[in-house]
Amino acid sequence: MPDATARRVDTPLGPILAHRDGDLWRARGVPYARADRFQRPSPVAPWRRPFDAATPAPVSPQRVDGLMESVSPGYVDRLGVDEHCQRVSVTWPAGAGDEPLPVIVWIHGGSYLTGGGDLEGFDPALMVREQRVIVVAVTYRLGLLGWLGDDRFAPANLGLLDIIEALRWVRTCIEGFGGDPTRVTAMGQSAGGDAITALMAVPEARGLFRRAIVQSAPLGIGDRRGAMQRAMLKAVHPVDTAMSVDDVLHANAEIYRVSRKHGLKGLMPYGPQWGRYPLPPESGRDAATAASRDVDLLMGHMSDEGVVVGAALPALGKAFQAPVVGGAVRHAVAGSLQAAVYEKGAARFVEAHRRAGGNAVQYLLGWKATGSAIADGHGMDIPVLLGDPDAWVRTEGLRHESPDRIRRVGTAIRQVWGDFARRGRVAPESAAAASEWLRLS
């Protein structure tokens, strides 16, 4: 008898064996590219025998991220670490029918240093189930291995090139999963959102996604980074291309230490390097991005991003925790930090997109997590979009919150995101249902 818990998906690259997960299908850890260390990625070679997509994607070498560890305990050991981490995982609803479904390509954040597409905190099950979409989660190279190249010891922007290859894989293969390759939405948070704004300026990425959902991209610290990048290179120069993974992690830590001397920019030391392939010079960024006017854009941030930014700066972090005056310090500076890192950059990007003739919706999200010191701070959009609410309440920032409330808020927010992925706009009734927490403009 046929195995009802597994099914073959035929793609132009070869057959894939997907596995049933309740009312969902999952194909995990499918390779989309291959690259040796410090080399640009190449499309994965086709295969003949079915690829058994039962194992989640490994993560790029990294230190453990505390927030993700609290949601996904032991995630680094459980998922494994592999420099050849260029994998995608596809989740889609069972019984989807014959009509092609919209596709959301999830690009995780983590300051280009931590994270992975298959972390439990990023599980797209609720989004897929409620919105009848396909979600493709991308894992790409991080840190020194993906983002420090200077075109001497290594090409620049390797992590960005990985993401482009993943989007090409989606264009080539997603029809086999029942997806519509003409309705692909790139969705990313923090560094993932920052990467999407860079992709919008890359000619090679044109046509790979029709829509973009950009969450809390730190655009205010993404430009004029040359001096910091030179200091980062100097800290590990010369780079030993044969270094061990432990040495790579040690170098990442040293680079992060050096970058902290560069103020706010040092909070995200790695990132796209403008003026190095495939990105245009920074002076031509606006013109290049304007060419992506055909990409529908949903862009915004949390309503109190600055509280997490301030806590990450050594001097301010201590001041925020000071008895009596800590709350006053936070109130005085958090708004300015939010404006500098997130708010002004998003407003400029949206306005430029609209001036170029593009369709853009801007949002502000604040759902006021119960009893949380970082109630509407950076990263608090993820619990109401992805992951399991029962797992999220194990985190320090949500330990006073109820899973039921996270589900209730999340259902409304996911409906808005789903509307946008389907049509490039938000239905009035969806906007009204989410209006207690979400402001659209």
Residues designated as active site: 190, 305, 378
How many Å apart are CA 171 and CA 165, to the nearest integer? 10
Copy the structure tokens of residue 103: 């596709």
How many Å apart are CA 160 and CA 194, to the nearest integer? 11
CB 385 within 8 A of CB 298: no
* Burial per residue of 135-163, b for 16 or more beta-carbon CB atoms within 10 angstroms, e otherwise: bbbbbbbbbbbbbbbbeeebbbbbbbbbb
Phi-psi map region of 379: left, alpha, beta (phi>0 left; psi -120 to 50 alpha): left
* Residue 301 CA, distance from chain mean position: 13
DSSP state of 339: I
Q: Residue 372: count other Cβ atoms within 10 Å of its Cβ.
A: 18
Looking at the chain, the number of H-run helices and the number of E-run strands are 16, 14
Copy the structure tokens of residue 76: 């680094």
How many Å apart are CA 121 and CA 65, to the nearest integer? 12
DSSP state of 65: P
Gyration radius of the chain over CA positions: 21
How many Å apart are CA 386 and CA 160, to the nearest integer? 23
CB 118 within 8 A of CB 85: no
In 132-284, which ranges are continuous DSSP H helix? 143-147, 158-173, 191-199, 226-236, 245-259
* Residue 324 CA, distance from chain mean position: 37
Q: Which SS3 state, helix, strand or coil, does residue 296 take?
A: strand
